[in-house]
Amino acid sequence: MIVVDARDLVKSYGRTKILKNMTFSIEENTITGVVGRNGAGKTTLLKIIAGYLRETSGQIQVFSRRPFNNLFVSANSIFIDDQISLPDSLTLNEILETAGSFYKNWNHHLAKGLLDYFSLRPDQYHRNLSKGMKSTFHMILGLASRSPLTIFDEPTSGMDAAIRKDFYRALLKDYLAHPRTILLSSHHLQEIEDLLENVLLIDDGKALLHISADDLKKWAIGLKGKRETIERCVKNREILHEQELGFDLVYTVVRNDFPEDELARMMSWGVEVSPVSSSDTCVYLTKKRKGGIDDVFRRSETV
């Protein structure tokens, strides 16, 4: 079953297009990472999916319904970010109890257990929490809701490394026990890639890649060797990244679509072939310039 289906989705503010004809679909009971640089359009997209924003044109269906201002979508989804608005007059425990009356799959035992584990007092007020503690409480809301569509937009903002690790472990354990569709936006791709089944890479308002996490790990390849040899290997290919390693020695990243015999031939020429991490692949794909930092200095010296 497809939970989220977008076709030529556009969101504009005046003459500025934030989302540009995005087309993709999200399957039921999967964890999808929504990744991209700041300003790429991740939050706008997630808010449209959650029904917080209206699309400008194109189509967006969530549970086969248009999400904007839709009660069914609201009752079956939760959107968690660091700007979530919660009542100042309620304690953390009262917020959890109120949430339990709205979300049909709510698990109060899980919420209370996580509240205790992360040392949050039930009688505390949300407004008095630090940034990191607020993010932790928001995470508890998202997990305990067990909503069929759970959206986390940069949920670990302000958390230290240990708490982020616990959050990801809690998310995975609860997902395995109670599968649902989870969208997870994060700048820490290297921390979450083992959680993900799919990755939606957004760049400048466009869906640049939407592939399985396993395929992303194999999408790019690094080639290291003498410049002349590397240039012969990557002729007529788009170079994602290039770095000078010394006199006449370079490291180049390109798409990994080489046949096995061609890879073997390159290695016989003295080329070192290495995998490229998912995080680095996303960074290289979304760079405005395909060269490395060395190019900046090289250009500055020729001016």
Report domain extents, the chain.
Answer: 2-216, 219-301
pLDDT score recorded for residue 249: 94
Region of 135 on the Ramachandran plot (φ > 0 left; ψ -120 to 50 alpha; else beta): alpha
pLDDT score recorded for residue 303: 58
Class of domain 2-216: alpha beta
CATH code matching the domain that covers 219-301, chosen among 3.40.960, 3.30.70, 1.10.287, 2.40.50 = 3.30.70
The helix or strand, by DSSP H or E, that contains position 108, with its residue range, turns out to be helix 108-117
Evaluate if pTM is beyond 0.75: yes
pLDDT score recorded for residue 190: 87
pLDDT score recorded for residue 186: 81
Contact status, residue 57 vs residue 87, Cβ threshold 8 Å: no
pLDDT score recorded for residue 302: 62
Residues of the chain under the 50 pLDDT cut:
none
Which residues have CB under 8 Å from 146's CB, separation 6+?
A: 103, 105, 106, 107, 174, 178, 180
Mapping DSSP to helix (H, G, I), strand (E, B) and coil, where does residue 291 land? coil
Beta bridge partners of 6: 24, 60
pLDDT score recorded for residue 293: 62
| C-beta contacts of 225-232 below 8 A and 24+ residues apart | 225/249, 225/250, 225/269, 225/270, 225/271, 225/272, 226/250, 226/270, 229/266, 229/269, 229/270, 229/271, 230/271
Structure tokens at 254: 């390109």
pLDDT score recorded for residue 295: 66
> Which residue carries 């990744």 as its tokens?
35
